[in-house]
Amino acid sequence: MADKTLNVISICGSLRKGSYNRIVMNALLALAPDGMKITEAPPFSEFPLYNADTQNSTGFPAPVQKLADAIRAADGVIFNTPEYNFGIPGGLKNAIDWVSRVPNQPFAGKPVALQSASPGPLGGGRVQYDMRRAMVFLDAMTLNKPEIFIGNCTQRIDDKAGKITDEATVGFIKQQLAAFAKFIAAHGTQP
């Protein structure tokens, strides 16, 4: 495991072009420890609303299969998501619901890390507990600590420049990614 590059994919819960969470996600590759490569997962923006009738009549839409395959092949998954109404944004929840119905569902045993950013003071703390609950049902292995809640994100992220400006935040993210690499080495399922 130690010699192998860890291939981690990131999923952004926001579809917004100027998304703060997407800016954080885009910064991750440069902040990853040696031996960890982070790439963006295939998008969920084209997923239809989940409907078991669709699944049963025409099967899984190609974009769903593509995301499921990418999750299955990855050594770990990082979610960068906003909090909507104290919970998981609808688009992301819909994506998780679709992927969760794919046979041999790909989150089982998968190391997962969570990051959220919000202009509010709690930085999306509540969505992370909602995400953890969904991941429990799917038998994912979610990293407990360090947690990354970027509160008051408009003061820590420059959305015009598309970068994190707060060095302390950068430091916390580096710490989480280093912990995630160790977590994958200890609990990951990929050969």
Ligand X SMILES: Cc1cc2nc3c(=O)[nH]c(=O)nc-3n(C[C@H](O)[C@H](O)[C@H](O)COP(=O)(O)O)c2cc1C
- Positions touching ligand X (CB under 6 A) are 14, 16, 19-22, 82-86, 118-120, 124
- The greatest distance separating any two alpha carbons of the chain, rounded to the nearest whole angstrom, comes to 51
User: What is the nearest approach in angstroms of ligand X to the Cβ of residue 16?
Assistant: 4
Question: Using CA atoms, how far apart are residues 188 and 5, in angstroms rounded to an integer?
Answer: 13
Nearest approach in angstroms of CB 70 to ligand X is 21
Residues 6 or more apart whose CB falls under 8 angstroms from that of 79 comprise: 10, 11, 13, 92, 112, 113, 114, 115, 131
Which CB, 15 or 73, lies closer to ligand X? 15
Of 75, 74, 24, 23, the closest CA to residue 181 belongs to 75
Q: In the complex, what is the shortest distance from the CB of residue 96 to ligand X, in angstroms, rounded to a whole number?
A: 17
Q: What are phi and psi of 149, to 5 degrees?
A: -115, 110
Closer to ligand X by Cβ: residue 20 or 47: 20
Name the minimum Å distance from CB 123 to ligand X: 7
Q: Measured from the CB atom, is 63 or 120 closer to ligand X?
A: 120
Residue in this structure with the two tokens 């809640």, named with its chain if needed:
149
Instruction: Report d(CA 104, CA 100) in Å as an integer.
Output: 9
d(CA 130, CA 96) in angstroms, rounded, equals 12
Secondary structure (3-state) at 44: coil
Q: Measured from the CB of residue 85, what is the shortest distance to ligand X in angstroms? A: 5
Nearer of residues 75 and 118 to ligand X, judged by Cβ: 118
